[in-house]
């Protein structure tokens, strides 16, 4: 999860491990690329490593994502200070102050940028002055950068009286004497004299605990004698970590190592070892459900489907308690659905698997889960059909349909033919008989579909051709009907129904060639023909358009066209459709 990676990054930053912080913030950005705070935090980490170009890039991305967030401009200013782009830094801080006029960090940053800019122009005159060991430590942007980079003094910066004291000393170094009794100021002085330079403002939005503000120190009278030189190095006291939290952190680290070992064993197909590692990880850290889902994956590979399902249920339950990433919960549900599919023995067994995949998709829509759902639904349907398959009952239902057909009760006949096909979907006779029923009922498209299925199942079954030819004839597609009858005669040359069909089609085609149609018939045929894609393609063909023009205006060219079988075949289709008349 992005929040988990961010928390790891904050912890690494607080401990001074800026490279690790950058790594974790990058992981968080990959998971939540529109979260402006993540870019801001990574900018701070880059700045702490003096990688100001990268820090500036992330700072600009922060502002791009959240233009009204003042801290983004603080990040830009800090990076530009590190790059010695003082005027740009001044501009960035001013923009931030326009958004948040009371932001002390922005005001301080602006003062540092202006001071640094001024120091560039007066560097020669300042070089001639004797150095002030303590005064120089409090000058320029380095002071705030060092204080924010140190884990102890960073907490002091959350205390208004400490910030005011440091601002007073920065404006007038002689005021240091007034705050010598304040241990926080002395510790800050040690940090400024002995700790390496860190980026300005780094880490000011990390998840660090608030420190109780100590009472403001009472200013003492200025000392008359010279200020004593401080100790060479003041080491800040480390932050105390509760023993319970320390132990928890160590357990999480051990759990991650166990998980990595389990992953390595899984890749080597050493499943028993992988299970041991994942189980140990679960015992060490019960707040990461990935250990449970990984063990479930091993059980799935081993064929231990019940164990896999139990682990997936446990992962889902624990994930909801922890409000884990919905993707992790979806992964557990998908894995459970996969295991359930593996245990299927009858079509009803697919129902819990399908329900589980659907739940997974409500958590997170994933193409892999969607495919598994579609496959399960299809497999369930196929298995239902196999379980329902019974050729003997199919024949009985077909005979019942035949009886109703003879009684001209076509809807009842369709019902029994349909049941017959459910019992035996490979019976061409049932498709042929139902096609005949549809024809009687005037449902030509349904009848045509059944006739074509009949031919597909048994290309030698002549009834399929007579059914399809009859439907095409009724639809006044005489050329198509003729082709169907002729195709059927190839398998059964002496079939009288097919021969009669050919004769009727030829009569209609000849009638069309002579133009023996009433105006109403011609108009109807032409309107129907214009809906035929094949006729549309012929009429839109530039070559055929020229052929038709030649038939009207250029007899010599028309004569040449008649020698081309493909052209004449298309002409015949137009004639049959009533679009063209031959005289």
What integer is the mean pLDDT of 489-513? 88
CA 573 to CA 489: how far, in whole Å? 21
What would the 3-class secondary structure string for 538-561 be? HHHCHHHHHHHHHHHHCHHHHHHH
Q: 324: phi > 0 → left, psi -120 to 50 → alpha, else beta; which?
A: beta
If asked whether residues 254 and 371 sit together in one domain, one would say yes
Q: Please answer whether residues 341 and 350 qualify as being in contact, where contact means their C-beta atoms are separated by less than 8 angstroms.
A: yes
Kindly state whether residue 226 falls inside one of the protein's structural domains.
no
Q: Please answer whether residues 106 and 74 qualify as being in contact, where contact means their C-beta atoms are separated by less than 8 angstroms.
A: yes
Confidence of residue 224 (pLDDT cuts 50, 70, 90): very low
Write down the pLDDT at residue 235: 35
If asked whether residues 534 and 511 sit together in one domain, one would say no
If asked whether residues 488 and 427 sit together in one domain, one would say yes
Q: Which long-range contacts (CB under 8 A, 24 or more apart) does 240-243 make?
A: none
Kindly state whether residue 13 falls inside one of the protein's structural domains.
yes
CA 494 to CA 204: how far, in whole Å? 96
Please give the distance of CA 11 from its chain centroid, rounded to a whole number. Answer: 30
Rounded to two decimals, what is the model's pTM?
Answer: 0.41
- As a dihedral over the C-alpha atoms of residue 201, residue 205, residue 207, residue 208, rounded to 10 degrees, the angle is 40
If asked whether residues 251 and 374 sit together in one domain, one would say yes
Write down the pLDDT at residue 409: 94
Tell me what the pLDDT averaged over the chain comes to: 82
CA 138 to CA 160: how far, in whole Å? 18
Q: What is the CATH number of the domain that holds 374?
A: 1.25.40.10
pLDDT in tens, 277-318: 999 999 999 889 999 999 999 999 999 999 999 999 999 999
| Domain of 103, in residue numbers | 1-123
Write down the pLDDT at residue 361: 93
Q: Which residue has the tokens 């059909």?
A: 385
Has residue 15 got a pLDDT over 50? yes
If asked whether residues 16 and 103 sit together in one domain, one would say yes
Write down the pLDDT at residue 120: 66
Has residue 152 got a pLDDT over 70? yes
What integer is the mean pLDDT of 484-500? 94
If asked whether residues 432 and 379 sit together in one domain, one would say no
If asked whether residues 354 and 273 sit together in one domain, one would say yes
What integer is the mean pLDDT of 485-498? 94
Kindly state whether residue 214 falls inside one of the protein's structural domains.
no
pLDDT in tens, 226-257: 444 443 333 333 444 466 777 888 889 999 99
If asked whether residues 450 and 381 sit together in one domain, one would say no
Kindly state whether residue 215 falls inside one of the protein's structural domains.
no
Confidence of residue 137 (pLDDT cuts 50, 70, 90): low
Write down the pLDDT at residue 67: 92
Angle between helices 496-514 and 478-491 (to 10 degrees): 150
What integer is the mean pLDDT of 465-469? 95
Confidence of residue 517 (pLDDT cuts 50, 70, 90): low
Angle between helices 104-121 and 86-99 (to 10 degrees): 160
Write down the pLDDT at residue 522: 65
Which among 495, 460, 496, 465 is positioned nearest to 483, based on CA atoms? 465
Kindly state whether residue 229 falls inside one of the protein's structural domains.
no
Which among 222, 162, 150 is positioned nearest to 190, based on CA atoms? 150
């Amino acid at each position: 999860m992005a929040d988990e990676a961010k928390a790891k990054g904050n912890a690494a930053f607080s401990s001074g491990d800026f490279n690790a912080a950058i790594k974790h913030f990058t992981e968080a950005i990959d998971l939540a690329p529109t979260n402006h705070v993540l870019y801001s935090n990574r900018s701070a980490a880059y700045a702490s490593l003096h990688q100001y170009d990268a820090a500036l890039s992330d700072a600009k991305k922060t502002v791009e994502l959240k233009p009204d967030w003042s801290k983004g401009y603080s990040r830009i200013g800090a990076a530009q200070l590190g790059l010695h782009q003082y005027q740009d830094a001044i501009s960035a801080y001013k923009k931030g102050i326009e958004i948040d006029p009371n932001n002390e960090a922005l005001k301080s940053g602006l003062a540092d940028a202006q001071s640094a800019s001024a120091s560039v122009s007066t560097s020669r005159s300042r070089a001639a002055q004797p150095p002030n060991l303590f005064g120089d430590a409090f000058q320029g942007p380095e002071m705030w950068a060092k204080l924010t980079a140190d884990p102890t003094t960073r907490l002091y910066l959350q205390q208004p009286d400490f910030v005011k004291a440091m601002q007073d000393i920065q404006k007038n170094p002689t005021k240091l004497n007034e705050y010598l009794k304040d241990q926080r100021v002395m510790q800050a002085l040690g940090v400024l004299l002995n700790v390496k330079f860190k980026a300005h403002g780094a880490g000011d939005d990390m998840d660090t605990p608030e420190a109780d503000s100590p009472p403001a120190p009472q200013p003492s009278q200025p000392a008359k004698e010279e200020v004593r030189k401080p100790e060479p190095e003041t080491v800040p006291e480390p932050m105390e970590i509760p023993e319970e939290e320390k132990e928890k952190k160590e357990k999480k680290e051990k759990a991650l190592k166990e998980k990595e070992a389990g992953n390595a064993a899984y890749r080597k197909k050493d499943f028993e070892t992988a299970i041991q590692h994942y189980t140990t990880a679960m015992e060490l850290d019960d707040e990461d459900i990935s250990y449970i889902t990984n063990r479930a994956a091993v059980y799935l590979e081993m064929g231990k489907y019940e164990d896999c399902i139990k682990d997936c249920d446990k992962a889902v339950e624990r994930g909801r308690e922890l409000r884990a990433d919905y993707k992790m919960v979806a992964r557990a549900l998908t894995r459970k659905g996969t295991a359930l599919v593996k245990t299927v023995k009858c079509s009803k067994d697919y129902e819990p698997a399908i329900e589980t995949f659907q739940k997974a998709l409500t958590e997170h829509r994933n193409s892999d889960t969607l495919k598994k759902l579609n496959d399960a639904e299809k497999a369930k349907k196929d298995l239902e059909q196999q379980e329902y398959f019974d050729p003997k009952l199919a024949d009985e239902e077909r005979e019942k349909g035949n009886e109703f057909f003879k009684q001209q009760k076509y809807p009842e006949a369709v019902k029994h033919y349909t049941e017959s096909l459910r019992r035996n979907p490979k019976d061409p006779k049932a498709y042929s008989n139902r096609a005949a029923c549809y024809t009687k009922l005037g449902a030509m498209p349904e009848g045509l579909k059944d006739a074509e299925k009949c031919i597909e199942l048994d290309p030698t079954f002549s009834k399929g051709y007579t059914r399809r030819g009859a439907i095409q004839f009724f639809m006044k597609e005489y050329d198509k009907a003729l082709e169907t009858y002729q195709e059927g005669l190839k398998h059964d040359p002496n079939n009288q129904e097919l021969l009669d069909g050919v004769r009727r089609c030829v009569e209609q085609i000849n009638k069309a060639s002579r133009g023996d149609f009433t105006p109403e018939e011609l108009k109807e045929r032409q309107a129907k023909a214009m809906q035929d894609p094949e006729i549309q393609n012929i009429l839109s063909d530039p070559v055929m358009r020229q052929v038709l023009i030649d038939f009207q205006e250029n007899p010599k060219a028309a004569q040449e066209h008649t020698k081309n079988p493909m052209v004449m075949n298309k002409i015949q289709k137009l004639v049959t459709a009533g679009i063209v008349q031959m005289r």
